[in-house]
Each structure stands twice: as C-alpha cells, then as structure tokens.
Amino acid sequence: MTRIMIVNGPNLNMLGRREPDIYGHQTYADLIKMISRHCQEKGIDVKIMQSNHEGALVDAIQQAADYCDGIVINPAAYTHTSVAILDALKAAALPAVEVHISDVDSREEFRHLSYPGMYCFKTVKGEGLAGYLTAIDALLAKIGL
Ligand code: CA2
C-alpha cells in the first residue's frame, strides 16, 4: 500500500489558537482529521507528525526514507532557515511537496526564501488548510496514483 508522511514544523500545533487572521480558526486536530479522511478516501496510508524541534524533523524525514513513498512538508519557520531540513530531504530522495497555509510571498521579505523548497518538486501556498490536500494530490499524481 502507498504510504506518505506529512511533516509539520514548529508552532503548527497552535493552529486555531492564535493569529486566526493568518492561519484560520481550524485546529491542528481538525487538520489531522481532514488529512486522515482524505487519505482514507484515496486508499493510502498516512503518517502525520509535528515537532517544534529541527532535529526531530530531520529524524522523521530520514525515517520516511525507509518506509514511505513521498513526503508533504510544512517546515513552518524552519522553511526560511533550515539547510538541515533541505539536506535531509535530499538524502531521503523521496518525491516531496512543500505546503504553506498562508501566502508566504505576500508576507514579510524573510518568508520569501525557502531552503526545503529548493528540493521539493512543488510548493502549495495560500490555500489555507485545504492546501495540504492539494499537496497530497500532487504527490500522489507524481507517484502515479
Ligand atoms: O504559512 C505557513 O504555513 C507557514 O509555514 C507557517 C509558519 C511561518 O513561519 C511560515 O513563514 C509560513 C508559522 C507556523 C506557526 O503557526 C501558528 C499557527 C497558529 C498560531 C500560531 C502559530
């Protein structure tokens, strides 16, 4: 069975609790439900993780290389700083899609640069939580599903 990993970076567990004008009112639990339902409908297995720690995200990407067919990643603030996450994605060598809830390009200048995005074959941004489903569908199309 096809298996994908969803990797979420720092503070995304706070969804729905702060800054609803930027990230909406839905919670991280709502996001997990939405992704799980979508993957069930598609008949694929999904592992969803979130960490506030850069090394834990690197560990998860390395593990994905052993048992997953692709990665959807929202590295959150590490998007704009982390060469370690870029290197982990390169090492895992799986197809990967980057997703951002907000439209990072219309925000502060420092959010315009993405290190993980240099590896990902697609970036979805500004679609809210639904962007994760767009990213999953793009990944599945790439994998050939
Ligand atoms: O738009 C996105 O998905 C971001 O990856 C979110 C990051 C931000 O640093 C990126 O530039 C763009 C921030 C995630 C923090 O999420 C929160 C959600 C609710 C309340 C507080 C933080």
Q: Decide: pTM greater than 0.75.
A: yes
What is the distance, to the nearest Å, from the Cα of residue 34 to the centroid of all Cα atoms in its chain? 14
Q: Is 15 in the pocket of ligand 1 (CB under 6 A)?
A: yes
**Nearest ligand 1 atom, CA 18:** 20
Task: Identify the CA nearest to 56 among candidates 84, 97, 28.
Answer: 84
* pLDDT band per the 50, 70, 90 thresholds, residue 107: very high
Digit-coded pLDDT (tens) for 6-30: 999 999 999 999 899 999 999 999 9
145, pLDDT greater than 90: no
Ligand 1 mean position, distance from CA 144 (Å)? 30
Mark whether 119 is an active-site residue.
no
Is 124 in a helix, a strand, or coil?
A: strand
Mean pLDDT over 88-102 rounds to 98
pLDDT at 18: 86
51: pLDDT strictly greater than 90: yes
- From residue 52, alpha-carbon distances to 30, 56, 126, 140 in Å are 19, 8, 22, 27
CA 108, 112, 114: angle at the middle one, nearest 5? 135
> Does 28 qualify as catalytic in the annotation?
no
More confident position, 16 or 145? 16
Lowest pLDDT segment from 79-83, 111-115, 141-145: 141-145
CA of 1 to the centre of ligand 1 (A): 31
pLDDT of residue 76: 98
* Sequence-distant (≥ 6) Cβ neighbours of residue 60 within 8 angstroms: 5, 7, 49, 51
Please work out whether the CB of residue 27 comes within 6 Å of at least one atom of ligand 1.
no
Give tens-digit pLDDT for 54-88. Answer: 999 999 999 999 999 999 999 999 999 999 999 99
The answer to whether residues 80 and 113 touch, using CB atoms and an 8 Å cutoff, is yes
What is the three-class DSSP state of 101? coil
Instruction: Give the C-alpha separation, 19 to 41, whole Å.
Output: 31
- 54 and 82 in contact (C-beta within 8 Å)? yes
Q: How far is the CA of 38 from the centre of ligand 1 (A)?
A: 22
Q: What is the pLDDT of residue 22?
A: 94
Distance 11 CA to ligand 1 centre (A): 7
Burial of 41 (0-12, 13-18, 19+ CB in 10 A): exposed
**What is the sign, positive or negative, of the torsion defined by CA atoms of 136, 112, 120, 138?**
positive
Beta carbon of 124 within 6 Å of any ligand 1 atom:
no
d(CA 50, CA 27): 13
Choose the residue to mutate in 21, 57, 98, 104 for probing ligand 1, maximizing ligand atoms within 8 Å of C-beta: 104
